[in-house]
């Protein structure tokens, strides 16, 4: 093979190079390799760039997805917090409405747990439920305020606080049916026992008049006789509260007390295995006194579950006859 090199100028001489067979093969191979490399770069360079672009986009999308997920979790956490606070507010206003005697028919049904207004769900559903619940809560507050406007004595005379001045309190027995730890018989427990340190002050949960202070004779009321040293307060139309197992009684019959006034101290008199306060709340209705769950009258005690509606509180009482406390 002979290669000719022509000068750029027409006056120059043409040079020729003769290649041998082996040299010719080397040149052809080099030319082929160069051509193949050119084609390869033409094809693979765009693919490499495309892959890099896709990898960059994937990384960007992954980062954006992670940020979106974090933002959604943050929104869900905030909504859960608002939901819990709204339910706490609904519980509180509902219990006040119960204590004030707000009619069930007038109560906003969205505030009842069974309505499902604030059931867990996706953020959009919870946000819509919060708006509806807030409107219902405003309506509930207005009903409570209207009752206070009708009767200015309600905030003063209605039991609404824990009757103990210590934080070391633990419910030992709850309101409702149970098997008596003393007799083994089925009975209805008309109050609750609050385990507390011996000697802790027992406080009046509202203003009232002491209608009994001392020990009840078993012949007069065998149920109350079991509670040892006893104080009974009458709160007028708001009902009656009972305090038992007292170590010391600090009030006299006929004495008028204010909310927070000391009544005595925690003890273990009567049928008590350890220091505790026996506490009962009896509401006054058309048929006389009826016991109800004292937790409904402890507004400073948060209920563990948001599952008590106004209607359910109104229906909570003893299923049969329970010896009531004296009320005058």
pLDDT by residue (tens digit) across 57-110?
A: 777 777 777 777 777 677 768 877 888 888 899 999 999 999 999 999 999 999
Which one of 2.70.70.10, 2.40.110.10, 3.40.50.300, 3.60.15.10 gives the CATH number of domain 155-315? Answer: 2.70.70.10
> What pLDDT is stored for residue 17 in this prediction?
45
Sign of the alpha-carbon torsion through 220, 221, 227, 233: negative
Quote the CA–CA distance of 291 and 278 in Å, as a whole number.
Answer: 14
Quote the CA–CA distance of 94 and 107 in Å, as a whole number.
Answer: 9
Quick one: DSSP state of residue 105? G
Kindly give the interhelix angle for 21-100 and 123-150, rounded to the nearest 10 degrees: 20
> What pLDDT is stored for residue 36 in this prediction?
54
Quote the CA–CA distance of 240 and 223 in Å, as a whole number.
Answer: 16
Residue appearing with tokens 């519980």:
91
> What pLDDT is stored for residue 46 in this prediction?
66
End-to-end CA distance of the chain: 134
> What pLDDT is stored for residue 27 in this prediction?
47
> What pLDDT is stored for residue 19 in this prediction?
45
pLDDT in tens, the chain (328 residues): 554 545 555 555 555 545 455 555 444 454 554 455 455 545 565 666 667 667 777 777 777 777 777 776 777 688 778 888 888 999 999 999 999 999 999 999 999 888 888 777 778 888 888 899 999 999 999 999 999 999 999 999 999 999 998 888 999 999 999 888 888 888 899 999 999 999 999 999 999 999 999 999 988 898 999 999 999 999 999 999 999 999 999 999 999 999 999 999 999 999 999 999 999 999 998 788 999 999 999 999 888 778 889 999 998 888 778 889 998 8
SS3 60: helix
Residue 189 vs residues 125, 145, 246, 321: alpha-carbon distances, Å: 41, 33, 18, 12
Sign of the alpha-carbon torsion through 309, 312, 318, 324: positive
């Amino acid at each position: 093979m002979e290669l000719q090199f022509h000068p750029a100028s027409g006056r120059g001489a043409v040079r020729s190079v003769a290649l041998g067979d082996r040299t010719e093969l080397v040149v052809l191979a080099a030319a082929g390799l160069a051509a193949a490399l050119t084609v390869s770069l033409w094809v693979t360079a765009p693919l490499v760039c495309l892959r890099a672009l896709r990898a960059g986009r994937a990384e960007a999308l992954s980062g954006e997805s992670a940020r979106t997920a974090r933002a959604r979790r943050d929104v869900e956490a905030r909504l859960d917090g608002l939901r819990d606070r709204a339910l706490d507010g609904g519980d509180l206003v509902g219990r006040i409405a119960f204590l004030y005697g707000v009619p069930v028919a007038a109560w906003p049904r969205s505030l009842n747990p069974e309505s499902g207004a604030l059931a867990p769900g996706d953020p959009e559903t919870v946000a819509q439920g919060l708006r509806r619940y807030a409107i219902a809560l405003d309506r509930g507050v207005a009903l409570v305020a209207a009752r206070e406007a009708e009767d200015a004595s309600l905030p003063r005379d209605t039991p609404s606080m824990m009757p103990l001045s210590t934080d070391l309190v633990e419910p030992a027995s709850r309101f409702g049916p149970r098997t008596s730890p003393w007799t083994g018989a089925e009975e209805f427990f008309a109050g609750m026992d609050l385990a507390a340190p011996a000697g802790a002050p027992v406080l009046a949960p509202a203003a009232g008049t002491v209608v009994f202070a001392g020990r009840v004779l078993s012949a007069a009321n065998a149920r109350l006789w079991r509670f040892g040293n006893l104080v009974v307060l009458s709160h007028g139309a708001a009902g009656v509260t009972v305090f038992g197992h007292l170590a010391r009684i600090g009030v006299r019959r006929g004495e008028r007390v204010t909310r927070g006034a000391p009544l005595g101290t925690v003890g273990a008199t009567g049928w008590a295995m350890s220091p505790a306060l026996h506490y009962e709340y009896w509401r006054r209705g058309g048929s006389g006194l009826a016991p109800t769950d004292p937790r409904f009258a402890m507004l400073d005690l948060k209920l563990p579950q948001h599952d008590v509606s106004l209607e359910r509180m109104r229906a909570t009482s003893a299923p049969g006859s329970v010896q009531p406390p004296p009320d005058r």
